[in-house]
Amino acid sequence: MTGSAALEGAAVAVAEARAQLLAAGAGTEVLARWARRKRMLGMLGSEQRLTPVGTAWRLGVLLLPSDPGGVAGWLAAGGSTTRAIDDGPRGYTAASARERGELRAAALRGGAPEGATVALGWVAVPLDGGLGPEGVEQLEGPALGPVLLRGHRLLVRWAGGAAPPAARGGVQPPPRAPGRRGGGAGAGPPPPPFEGYLRERRALALEAAAR
């Protein structure tokens, strides 16, 4: 199997998962991007907005867009979340608490439904086999979020700036032994195959939707 064939197989698995999640009415998050990327140091600024570009199901470290035409690529991954709510006057003393409040306000200003969970800082992952060698090269180089192509296999890894805290609905990875980068005793588990990981996370989302 070539790298392109692996992407084509993943694209089929993603389409099947999308159809099942849509039919089940599984809950989604709002995918959003910054309307303006320039930020003042330590401040988002009242003009900053997190603009919705679609919705997606969060499947562990992956984000599956509900509309494949709404976001570049078949899949999104990584990033963090906030809620689109108005905290009112922010009298926090901690800078981190002020920034969290500003993120929530920016999501609401951008047009996300009030109370919605908003995903930001994600990356689009090109799983469409129609992208050809260019799409393959992106995944064979430095891992794009938690998705990487190793040889002819598409894998999902926890590292790469995309490991989700358990509080965000993801699963915390087992800790690696200090100083180990993979392989050998004490190393973390190998990255699971993409399709198996997607199948497992899809099942959990469908189970939650049926409750």
- 210 found inside a domain: no
DSSP per-residue letters across 164-180: PPGGGT--PPPPPPTT-
Q: How many domains does the chain have?
A: 1
- 54 found inside a domain: yes
Q: What pLDDT was estimated at residue 134?
A: 46
- 80 found inside a domain: yes
- 195 found inside a domain: no
Q: 23 forms bridges with which residues in the sheet?
A: none
- 175 found inside a domain: no
Residue 202 is inside which H or E element, if any? helix 194-209
Q: Percent of the chain having pLDDT more than 70?
A: 66
In whole angstroms, what is the distance from residue 84 CA to residue 107 CA? 5
| Rounded mean pLDDT, 74-81 | 84
Higher pLDDT, 96 or 103: 103
| Stated pTM of the model | 0.74
In whole angstroms, what is the distance from residue 123 CA to residue 142 CA? 13
In whole angstroms, what is the distance from residue 16 CA to residue 19 CA? 5
Is the separation of the CB atoms in 41 and 165 below 8 Å?
A: no
Q: What pLDDT was estimated at residue 129?
A: 47
In whole angstroms, what is the distance from residue 157 CA to residue 11 CA? 18
| Rounded mean pLDDT, 136-147 | 58
| Rounded mean pLDDT, 120-124 | 88
- 178 found inside a domain: no
Show the domain range for 87.
Answer: 3-123
Q: What pLDDT was estimated at residue 36?
A: 64
Q: What pLDDT was estimated at residue 64?
A: 93
- 171 found inside a domain: no
Q: What pLDDT was estimated at residue 207?
A: 96
Higher pLDDT, 166 or 147: 147
Higher pLDDT, 161 or 74: 74
- 118 found inside a domain: yes
